[in-house]
Amino acid sequence: MKRFQLKNIAILVLVLANACLIAVLLHRHYQQTIAQERATQEIITLFATQGVTLAPSFVLWEEPLNSLELEADSNLQHAIAQALLNDEFTVSTATDGSAYYQSPSGTVSFSPDGTLEAYGVLGDDTALAFIQDFCQTYGYDNLMVISDGETTTATATLTYRGTLVTGLSVTFTLVSNRLTSVIGTVLPQTHSSVGAEAQVSCLTALSRFLAARRTTGAVVSTVTDVTACYTFSSTPNAPMSLQPQWIVQTDNGTYYVDAFSAQVQYG
């Protein structure tokens, strides 16, 4: 009987300990939520005093990204060449590390910094459908198509795992509904190493943007969106690197805030 009572007491102690732990976690979450709401209201009020409205749709608590270093992926290059070339191809590598894929229908080249160039009779005869599938498969977004009847140009922005990489894109050219060239940047969707974690939060980025607006006298009345993104850099030692930024969309252009230095740059 005593053993049974001791067992029940032990279970009760564990239940009470778990309940206390849950209560502490809920209290901390509540305090964090209150602090976030207070900070959000403060930044909204700060912007309002400067005559700028913050749209309520975006998330002010999105985490900054890490810097990343990427390495060329020969399997990815092979798959892209296979998709673009209609025949069996040969592969060669230059002294600078560039890879060349050649077939009777065209050529595809990849530079160490991710530059992609392809020329010839490429893809298949579905043209635009092929381009849409290509973009979905290899990380391109916001496809825009312009045509003058004979020549069609399609351009898409580059993403890394769904996150925009500013300034990088791919352009497809079609003549008589056949794909004749693909020029742009291709990035492997896996990274070789992770760099330092950015310290500039979304709220700090907004504050720095507001200060830059005041200093430059830029005419901005509404901030419509703030999101984390990457900017691309290339050096001999690190041919493909992604550095974190914040994109601040306004009613009068786009601003970029470096997630390390907090430096603000207009679009």
- Answer yes or no: is 258 within a domain: yes
Highest mean pLDDT among 4-8, 16-20, 157-161: 157-161
Percent of the chain past pLDDT 70, that is, above it, reads: 82
Which residues on adjacent β-strands are paired with residue 155?
A: 144, 171
Is the same domain home to 207 and 248?
A: yes
C-alpha to C-alpha distance for 148 and 75, rounded to whole angstroms: 36
**Is residue 262 over pLDDT 80?**
yes
Do both 92 and 60 map to the same domain? Answer: no
Total tally of structural domains belonging to the chain: 2
Give the model's pLDDT for residue 27: 47
Which DSSP state fits 56? T
58 and 79 fall within a common domain: no
Distance CA 229, CA 27 (A): 33
By residue range, what is the domain housing residue 235?
39-66+196-266
Give phi and psi for 96, each to the nearest 5: -85, 0
Q: At what angle do helices 74-84 and 128-138 cross, to 10 degrees?
A: 170
Which tens digits make up the pLDDT trace of 18-28? 655 665 555 46
How far apart (Å, rounded) are the C-alpha atoms in residues 22 and 177? 62
Where are the alpha helices (H) located in the chain, listed in sequence order?
Answer: 2-49, 74-84, 128-138, 202-216
pLDDT of 103 higher than 80: yes
Contact 220/52 with Cβ under 8 angstroms? yes
The C-alpha atoms of residue 252 and residue 53 are separated, in whole angstroms, by: 13
Question: What type of residue sits at position 152?
Answer: T
State residue 92's pLDDT score: 95
| Separation between Cα atoms, residue 201 and residue 85, nearest integer Å | 45
**Residues 125-151: b if buried by 16+ CB within 10 A, e if exposed:** eebbebbbebbeebbbeebeeeeeeee
